[in-house]
């Protein structure tokens, strides 16, 4: 690499003199199409229900979800990630595989509303639908049964694809989930449906507000299947497995606390890499801004830019539509 020079001849500040100059030499840029809006749709409500820990985020009705999808298209957002909040739950998450379950109905609603103008992603996991709140079915000892859960994921994949989802977000962190979902899709002629693998998903403290948003029934924790925050090499093993099983895209979750992991994943793969700016990250910024401790808009932009700079091609963020409008 050529050396820039030494002071006094070398003055990097020359390239910071004006907003126009800083824009010209910016190394990292956000684009609306990089952003994915997570959205919650709740069964049996007639008006949106605010999520107290996430100011500005709501549990949508079917009608307001359609309106939010239109707004996202108009702002240039790249995709919508949908999560269902059912009225009833059971031990095996039956609503998650019911063709008339809230998520499948919502997928059909949004696809009918915006067609292919927006990529429609759906969360492929059981935690919203189980009365115990875990991401899979339990065995006789109350442990998550990996292989029995995979059978349920295959069913979920088929009904979500039938509803019209373009991308399935395999988020449950079961071993072998990507391969099982791929075979389930291919077996019903849905080779066109993509898989976004939640490849690196840590057992994080940053998920609390999300669990409020989906009405989680979780008892205990998910440390036996989500990853240990202390580990990086383990993430590389997960990446190799997901790619071998047919993942079209991979994700790191959460975002900001794991920028080192994100950078490593981005350097090791040639498929699109996503990062999820999770509910706890959102809530912290909104709370600090509400107290006047930080500049809200600058902080949002800075956090998203840092995630993009670390290597994310795609960013799931609850600010997606707002930020896209500004861009």
Catalytic entry in 89, 112, 201, 219:
201
- In this structure, the chain runs to a length of 327
Distances (CA, A) of 134 to 64, 97, 137, 271: 28, 16, 7, 29
Contact 118, 80 (CB under 8 A): yes
Which residues fall within 8 angstroms of residue 115, CB to CB, at 6 or more apart?
none
Q: What's the CA gap between 221 and 216, in Å, rounded?
A: 12
Which residues fall within 8 angstroms of residue 250, CB to CB, at 6 or more apart?
196, 197, 199, 200, 239, 242, 243, 265, 269, 271, 272, 273, 274
253 has catalytic annotation:
yes
Strand 314-316 relative to strand 273-276, pairing: parallel
Provide the annotated active-site residues.
Answer: 201, 253
């Amino acid at each position: 690499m050529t050396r820039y020079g030494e002071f006094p001849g070398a003055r990097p500040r020359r390239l910071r003199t004006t907003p126009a100059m800083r824009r010209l030499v910016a190394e990292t840029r956000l684009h609306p199409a990089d952003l994915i809006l997570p959205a919650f749709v709740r069964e049996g409500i007639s008006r949106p229900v605010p999520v107290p820990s996430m100011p500005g985020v709501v549990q949508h009705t079917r009608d307001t979800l359609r309106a939010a999808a239109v707004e996202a298209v108009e702002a240039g957002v790249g995709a919508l990630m949908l999560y269902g909040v059912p009225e009833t739950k059971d031990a095996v998450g039956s609503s998650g595989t019911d063709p008339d379950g809230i998520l499948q109905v919502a997928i059909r609603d949004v696809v009918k509303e915006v067609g292919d103008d927006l990529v429609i992603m759906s969360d492929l996991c059981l935690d919203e639908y189980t009365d115990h709140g875990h991401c899979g079915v339990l065995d006789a000892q109350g442990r998550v049964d990996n292989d029995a859960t995979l059978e349920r994921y295959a069913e979920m994949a088929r009904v979500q694809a039938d509803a019209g989802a373009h991308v399935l977000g395999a988020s449950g962190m079961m071993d072998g989930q990507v391969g099982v979902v791929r075979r389930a899709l291919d077996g019903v002629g849905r080779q066109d449906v993509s898989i976004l693998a939640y490849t690196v998903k840590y057992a994080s403290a940053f998920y609390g507000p999300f669990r409020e948003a989906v009405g989680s029934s979780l008892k205990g924790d998910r440390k036996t299947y989500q990853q240990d925050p202390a580990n990086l090499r383990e993430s590389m093993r997960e990446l190799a497995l997901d790619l071998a099983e047919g993942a079209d895209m991979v994700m790191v979750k959460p975002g900001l606390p794991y920028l080192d992991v994100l950078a490593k994943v981005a350097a090791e793969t040639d498929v699109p890499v996503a990062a999820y700016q999770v509910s706890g990250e959102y809530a912290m910024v909104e709370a600090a801004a509400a107290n006047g401790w930080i500049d809200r808009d600058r902080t949002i932009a800075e956090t998203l830019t840092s995630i993009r700079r670390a290597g994310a091609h795609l960013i799931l963020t609850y600010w997606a539509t707002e930020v896209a409008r500004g861009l």
